A and B are shown apart, each in its own frame.
Chain A
Amino acid sequence: MTIGKIIGGSIGEKILIRLKSNASVDVGDIVVCEDTKTKEKFFLKIINIGISSLISNQFVEDIAGQNLEHDTDYNLFDSDDRFYKMCEAKILKVKREGKLFPARSLPNYFMDIKKINEEEFDFINKGGEIEIGNLRLGTESFEGIKLALPAKKLISHHMLVVAATGKGKSNFSKVFLSGVLKLDNYASVVFDPHNEYYGGSGEKGLRDHPLKDNVVYFSPRYEKIPGAENLAIPTSELEPDDFFGIVNLSSAQKEAMMLIFREYKNEWIKKLLTESIENFMKIFGEKIHRATFATLKRKIQHALELEGSKGLVFSIDEASGVSVYKKVKNAVSERKIVIVDTSMIGDETEKIVASSILNRVFRKYRVAKQKSPEVFSKMPEVLVVFEEAPRVIGSEVLSEGKNIFERIAREGRKFKVGLCAITQMPSLISGEILSQMNTKVILGLPAPADRNAVINSAAQNIGDENIEIQMLDKGEAIITSPFIDFPMPVKIFLFEDVLKDFKVENPDKKITLSIE
């Protein structure tokens, strides 16, 4: 059925469509235009809809006024001809002699616009592994058409998951991780401040996944949870690096930490916290100021949430058993998903847990690449998932010094370590780091500043999707990535449904987005 006609536009700008009066079209819809002259088939996406009329504005205002103010008896003759809707669209792809091309030509005047048929969706390329949702046109999602992201490169080139609160960021991450679980050559480390990834107490999580054996869960509450590992880290395993760019430290304080570390090695924190300032002064003399000791003691005690010598995660006790760091590294090598429950510890402590774990994982990858490329080539790509990411890669925190998250964002892809940064407020992250997040999963973002931050840093032109992004509902996303053809409208699966459907190998038509 014809729903409109081309009435103008250009490739660089927008294509203008006059809609048929009874046509129902949403922003985000994909429509087709077959040019009867050139035999080209255009796939267009609706990016804006407006109302328009053949009558000058002044008259239109008068018409409304007559009715409002004077209750005039009137009848709009030929109203479908004179008052109608117009859309702006952009060309996604052109099909010529059965082959697909990016838009380099235009349909002619008055060519018919039609709704797309399901079988025409094969204009979307094939070749990805991680199923994340159904194709979505406007608000309508197509159950029969599944979209998948390619894992290769996409994971190590970082992801950004953005949305206002409650729009489905965590759900997406869980769905994505379920996909990662199925793959052979990928691992993940998830820091979970809301304890929502592993599941329990009625909520579904990765522990309900059929492949749950490949999930390792670390929690300070491990005793109550079967199979969970204890998240306990002796301070002897920490290094000054783990605090840098995380805890707010002056350069004098950083220097002091290095000095103390060099002096006492793995006892440095124990000494710092237990030794009297007088004793320290005797040992370090002029090198460290008295006040610096006092502040450092307080800051580190606080950062590790130590009450006396014990905290929920950190403690000054001697190391016993296999260290958490080692277990995490092993799990990663075994291509597992590691979930670290940080829901019971404070923000700063959580960041130290994450930073210390990542420092060690990243070091392992870096060293492997330099020393034994053979081993490195067999190591899985690893995805680090971090919620409320501006806490570690925001402009504000990074202005105080670099940290491991920033480092991964900048050079992780060389070492097969990717960052999946989840946030409600991308505008707090610098444009430079946002651009490193090559793949962006954009769920509804009402705030203009956040939308602009994401749009300006996207690898594809998604300025035209601005309005759509603003209107996205729960679970509705636009995914932009250099590894897919064009910004893809998706209705993300609900994680619970993914669990339900997992065993049945789906005979449905599957379309994936890679451009390999």
Chain B
Amino acid sequence: MKIHQKIMEFISKNVYSKNEFEFKIDNFKIFKDVESIGNVYAVDGGCGVLCDCGSYIISKIKIGVTCYENMKRVSSSEKVDEYYVFAQKTDSGNVIKIFPEIEINENEIKKCKIEEVQNEIRRYLEWKKIEELSEKITSNDVILADGFFEKIKNEHNIVFVCKTSRLRSKSGRPLLSCLNDVSKESIKNEKWMYKISENEYIVKFHEKSRFCYKVSVKNLNNIEYLLGVVAYYSKDPEIIGYPYPLLRVDKIARIRNDEKKTENRKLKNNKFGKFLVSDEDAAIMHELLDKRMYR
């Protein structure tokens, strides 16, 4: 037997054969989209390493916000903040410097791996941005964010949508796909939500979507309105069923390879930047080898 077949045989016997889904059809709740009367904001961050010299890393972080009203983007409310992070490994933990300077609790990020520093700061900045926005929105507005932030203080009208999830069914299958399969048979042509814990739902935002997402909402009183509005904004055919403002904000906050290259060049091409060339060269030896030998 071919090894691939062996692998799949094992999985199907151990994971799929046990037909003990814990879901009940009754727990699916059907909902309708709601024409939003307020603004819909979306927040997301992106980061990327501009220069990795082994013992220190320079990275860039972008935090984007976009805003839609009546399905139209409000250009004046769209904004991207840019930050640069220098993180150096030392015996007493990471040394970190952020440009422009921001207030941040350094204790946590001092301890993590330096590759992780940029991500930690990005998540912190995203959270800050969401907090800041949530202070000023009205009760009809909705904030969409990618991922989940436990420590959000102001919990009104914030909908967290996760693109991926490690949630499992009892048998060990991915929860999202189990639910999706079940729903395909029993709830055709509807948008639905399925409560999986106190604040968490699995939601299908568009009846024709192939995907569902894990969604966290803290403000449970308003759940149908919030999900209805998100569904209303999930009709873009590029990825039907995924909230379009999140797609947009991902686009503006993402740091692409071209951008990384340009930034890297700018770091080197100034009178203080010379040493970066040799520092980086030493660190990227394996990358060069990769390129030469295996491509």
Interface residues of chain A, those whose CB is within 8 Å of chain B, are 55, 59, 62-63, 66-67, 70, 72-78, 81-82
Per the bound structure, the CA–CA distance linking A75 and B244 in Å amounts to 10
- Whether B244 pairs with A66 at a CB distance below 8 angstroms is no
**At the interface, yes or no: B129 with Cβ under 8 Å from chain A?**
no
Sampled A-B contacts (7; CB under 8 Å):
A63-B237, A63-B238, A70-B208, A73-B208, A76-B236, A77-B245, A82-B238
**At the interface, yes or no: B248 with Cβ under 8 Å from chain A?**
yes
Per the bound structure, the CA–CA distance linking A186 and B59 in Å amounts to 78
**At the interface, yes or no: B71 with Cβ under 8 Å from chain A?**
yes
CB B142 to nearest CB in A, in angstroms, measures 15
Chain B, 202-216, CB within 8 A of any chain A CB:
206-208
Residue of A nearest to B68 (CB): A77
- Whether A66 pairs with B208 at a CB distance below 8 angstroms is yes
- Whether A66 pairs with B238 at a CB distance below 8 angstroms is no
Given contacts A75-B71, A77-B68, contact A66 B248 (CB under 8 A): no
Residue of B nearest to A72 (CB): B208
- Whether B248 pairs with A75 at a CB distance below 8 angstroms is no
- Whether B235 pairs with A73 at a CB distance below 8 angstroms is yes
Which residues of the partner chain A approach B233 to less than 8 Å between Cβ atoms?
77
Per the bound structure, the CA–CA distance linking A82 and B238 in Å amounts to 10
With A73-B235, A74-B240 known, 10 other A-B pairs at CB within 8 A are A55-B238, A59-B237, A62-B237, A74-B235, A74-B237, A75-B71, A76-B237, A77-B236, A78-B244, A82-B238
CB B123 to nearest CB in A, in angstroms, measures 26
Per the bound structure, the CA–CA distance linking A77 and B239 in Å amounts to 11
CB A20 to nearest CB in B, in angstroms, measures 14
Per the bound structure, the CA–CA distance linking A59 and B236 in Å amounts to 11
How many B residues face the partner with a CB closer than 8 A? 15
**At the interface, yes or no: B73 with Cβ under 8 Å from chain A?**
yes
CB A21 to nearest CB in B, in angstroms, measures 13
Which residues of the partner chain A approach B248 to less than 8 Å between Cβ atoms?
77-78
Which residues of the partner chain B approach A63 to less than 8 Å between Cβ atoms?
237-238
Per the bound structure, the CA–CA distance linking A501 and B77 in Å amounts to 58
Which residues of the partner chain B approach A66 to less than 8 Å between Cβ atoms?
208, 237, 240
Which residues of the partner chain B approach A81 to less than 8 Å between Cβ atoms?
73
- Whether A75 pairs with B208 at a CB distance below 8 angstroms is no
Per the bound structure, the CA–CA distance linking A55 and B237 in Å amounts to 11
Chain B, 234-273, CB within 8 A of any chain A CB:
235-238, 240, 244-245, 248
CB A260 to nearest CB in B, in angstroms, measures 84
With a 10 A CB-CB cut-off, give which of A70, A72, A77, A81 has the most chain B CB atoms: A77
Which residues of the partner chain A approach B236 to less than 8 Å between Cβ atoms?
74-77
CB A67 to nearest CB in B, in angstroms, measures 7
Which residues of the partner chain B approach A67 to less than 8 Å between Cβ atoms?
237
- Whether A72 pairs with B73 at a CB distance below 8 angstroms is no
Which residues of the partner chain B approach A73 to less than 8 Å between Cβ atoms?
206-208, 235
Per the bound structure, the CA–CA distance linking A66 and B238 in Å amounts to 11
Per the bound structure, the CA–CA distance linking A62 and B248 in Å amounts to 19
Which residues of the partner chain A approach B68 to less than 8 Å between Cβ atoms?
77
CB A74 to nearest CB in B, in angstroms, measures 5
- Whether B244 pairs with A72 at a CB distance below 8 angstroms is no
Per the bound structure, the CA–CA distance linking A29 and B248 in Å amounts to 35
- Whether B235 pairs with A75 at a CB distance below 8 angstroms is yes
Which residues of the partner chain B approach A55 to less than 8 Å between Cβ atoms?
238
- Whether A77 pairs with B208 at a CB distance below 8 angstroms is no
Given contacts A66-B208, A72-B208, A73-B235, contact A78 B240 (CB under 8 A): no
Which residues of the partner chain A approach B206 to less than 8 Å between Cβ atoms?
73
CB A81 to nearest CB in B, in angstroms, measures 8
CB B243 to nearest CB in A, in angstroms, measures 10
CB A174 to nearest CB in B, in angstroms, measures 55
Per the bound structure, the CA–CA distance linking A77 and B245 in Å amounts to 9
With beta carbons under 8 angstroms apart, the residue of A59, A70, A72 that contacts B238 is A59
CB A290 to nearest CB in B, in angstroms, measures 86
Chain B, 92-126, CB within 8 A of any chain A CB:
none
CB A392 to nearest CB in B, in angstroms, measures 61
CB A390 to nearest CB in B, in angstroms, measures 54
Residue of A nearest to B251 (CB): A54
Per the bound structure, the CA–CA distance linking A76 and B235 in Å amounts to 7
CB A69 to nearest CB in B, in angstroms, measures 11
Per the bound structure, the CA–CA distance linking A54 and B244 in Å amounts to 15
Per the bound structure, the CA–CA distance linking A76 and B240 in Å amounts to 10
Per the bound structure, the CA–CA distance linking A78 and B240 in Å amounts to 14
Per the bound structure, the CA–CA distance linking A439 and B206 in Å amounts to 63
Per the bound structure, the CA–CA distance linking A78 and B244 in Å amounts to 9
Per the bound structure, the CA–CA distance linking A82 and B206 in Å amounts to 21
Per the bound structure, the CA–CA distance linking A96 and B238 in Å amounts to 46
Which residues of the partner chain B approach A78 to less than 8 Å between Cβ atoms?
73, 244, 248
With a 10 A CB-CB cut-off, give which of A55, A59, A72 has the most chain B CB atoms: A72
With a 10 A CB-CB cut-off, give which of A55, A59, A70, A74 has the most chain B CB atoms: A74
Which residues of the partner chain B approach A62 to less than 8 Å between Cβ atoms?
237
CB B248 to nearest CB in A, in angstroms, measures 7
- Whether A77 pairs with B240 at a CB distance below 8 angstroms is no
Q: Which 3 A-B pairs have the closest CB atoms?
A: A63-B237, A77-B244, A75-B235
CB B44 to nearest CB in A, in angstroms, measures 16
CB B56 to nearest CB in A, in angstroms, measures 35
Residue of A nearest to B208 (CB): A72
CB A82 to nearest CB in B, in angstroms, measures 8
CB A351 to nearest CB in B, in angstroms, measures 65
CB A12 to nearest CB in B, in angstroms, measures 26
> What string of 1s and 0s marks CB contacts (under 8 Å) between B64-97 and chain A?
0000100101000000000000000000000000
CB B199 to nearest CB in A, in angstroms, measures 28
Per the bound structure, the CA–CA distance linking A166 and B206 in Å amounts to 56
Per the bound structure, the CA–CA distance linking A37 and B71 in Å amounts to 37
Residue of A nearest to B232 (CB): A75
Per the bound structure, the CA–CA distance linking A77 and B240 in Å amounts to 11
Which residues of the partner chain B approach A74 to less than 8 Å between Cβ atoms?
235-237, 240
CB A58 to nearest CB in B, in angstroms, measures 11
Which residues of the partner chain A approach B71 to less than 8 Å between Cβ atoms?
75, 77
Residue of A nearest to B209 (CB): A72
Per the bound structure, the CA–CA distance linking A73 and B71 in Å amounts to 14
